[in-house]
Amino acid sequence: MLKFETLYKEGHEEVVFFSDPSCNLKVIIAIHNTILGPALGGTRMWPYKNEEEALSDVLRLSKGMTYKAAVAGLNLGGGKAVIIGDPVQDKSEALFRCYGRFLESLNGRYITAEDVNITVEDIEHIFTETSNVCGVAKIHGGSGNPAPFTALGTFRGIEASCLKTFGDRSVKGKVFALQGAGSVGCHLGKLLSDNGAKVFFCDINEKNVERFKEFVPNAERVSVDEIYDIPCDVYSPCALGATINDDTIERLKCRVVAGCANNQLAENRHGDILKEKDILYAPDYLINAGGLMNVSIEFEGWSEDKATRMVDTIYDTTLEIFKKSDKDDIPVHQATDLLAEQRIQSIKNIKGRYLGRLAHRFPGRKKLI
């Protein structure tokens, strides 16, 4: 059961349940923090076992978005939505349009986008009912699929990690173990290979393996379990979260962990262990922020040039975080959290001054002066 105690502890502002039996819509939206701006985060569709499981996912994910936006320097807060349902059987135009109408009622406090199992086509249906959505198709003025920009940002984070670890930004001649040949994995694999890296990869989905081979013909496939044992310079998790855990951490034979997957550390203490083992960890929610940066530009008019320039800043921010981690002698994940928290706090502390807007609220009255 959802308890206010939990919301207080984790800092969530608002949790909304929307439902409509006519189209079998069951959605939970969590708005974690809007100090920096409207909460932005994707909608995930998943056949959760029950409401409890969906709720705990949306609370965790929405908090992560607050940190991601803050550290990326965006004027956005954190939020996320989960639709409980089977993406193969339960999707319909009515479901997404109904969801869009509910989103409209939140008055822009939450803006949605794609997440797991939500496609640009689904977003189009939502867009029919509300403008509080991004990741809209390019043909309708949006930015389309964010995966190439997520990959570019991850690549910039990898370059920063290479500079810090090997004294040279280039990935040329470096060996990568890339886990997950999905949308982002394909684009990242191609960037690495085109820039002279050797790529080993794995995936559980044969269709995605075939697509990856087209993107990166020189890559070498290994088994799903073997990926942790590959002697390499960089282990790059691009599938699921929590792959740095008690079972895998002793097997890693790399100098750097840097990939696009969310929540790579099973627990924060695994970040501490990486530091003890002298393995550099590139903060996942910073280096995978390229997709978020890309969609955020839609509201001011998207262009590939603007998106690329913004995503490129991930290189400098990653270096800044490494510097902070060294200076304060704290693990990288802690330094990243601190940077995000400090930015939110500093904006929260700004003193408001009366801006003389009172008269505008009562347009029928005469001005006082």
Positions annotated as catalytic residues are: 80
Residue 135 within binding range of ligand NAD, rule CB under 6 A: no
Binding region for ligand NAD (CB under 6 A) out of 5-13, 199-207, 248-256, 272-280: 199-207
Which CB sits closer to ligand NAD, 79 or 182? 182
Residue 146 within binding range of ligand NAD, rule CB under 6 A: yes
Identify residues 115-134 at the interface with ligand NAD (CB under 6 A): none
Binding region for ligand NAD (CB under 6 A) out of 24-32, 93-101, 197-205, 315-323: 197-205
- CA-wise closest residue to 155 among 255, 253, 291: 291
Which residues are within 8 A (CB) of 363 and not within 5 positions of it... i.e. 6 or more apart?
none
Identify residues 78-117 at the interface with ligand NAD (CB under 6 A): none
Which CB sits closer to ligand NAD, 207 or 327? 207
Q: How many residues bind ligand NAD (CB under 6 A)?
A: 24
Residue 184 within binding range of ligand NAD, rule CB under 6 A: yes
Which CB sits closer to ligand NAD, 38 or 42? 42
Backbone angles phi, psi at 149, to 5 degrees: -80, -30
Identify residues 151-180 at the interface with ligand NAD (CB under 6 A): 179-180
Residue 232 within binding range of ligand NAD, rule CB under 6 A: no
Which CB sits closer to ligand NAD, 157 or 291? 291
Residue 183 within binding range of ligand NAD, rule CB under 6 A: yes
* Residue 228 backbone zone (phi > 0: left; psi -120 to 50: alpha; other: beta): alpha
Q: How far is the CB of 350 from ligand NAD (least distance, A)?
A: 30
The sign of the torsion formed by the CA atoms of 353, 74, 80, 299 equals positive
Strands 14-20 and 110-111: unpaired
Query: Which residue in the set 64, 78, 182, 283 belongs to the binding site for ligand NAD (CB under 6 A)?
Result: 182
Residue 62 within binding range of ligand NAD, rule CB under 6 A: no
194: tokens are: 């085109």
Q: By beta-carbon distance, which residue lies closest to ligand NAD?
A: 182
Extract long-range pairs of 248-252: CB within 8 Å, 24+ residues apart: 249/273, 249/274, 249/277, 252/228, 252/277, 252/279
**Residue 34 CB: number of other CB atoms within 10 A?**
18
CB burial string 302-334: b at 16+ within 10 A, e below: beeeebeebbebbbebbbebbebbeeeebbbbb
The sign of the torsion formed by the CA atoms of 96, 98, 101, 103 equals negative
Residues in the chain, total? 369
Query: Which residue in the set 291, 310, 311, 318 belongs to the binding site for ligand NAD (CB under 6 A)?
Result: 291
Query: Which residue in the set 43, 130, 288, 296 belongs to the binding site for ligand NAD (CB under 6 A)?
Result: 288
What is the H or E stretch that residue 78 is in?
A: strand 77-84
Which CB sits closer to ligand NAD, 165 or 208? 208
Interacting residues toward ligand NAD by CB under 6 A: 146-147, 150, 179-185, 202-205, 208, 224, 238-240, 260-262, 288, 291
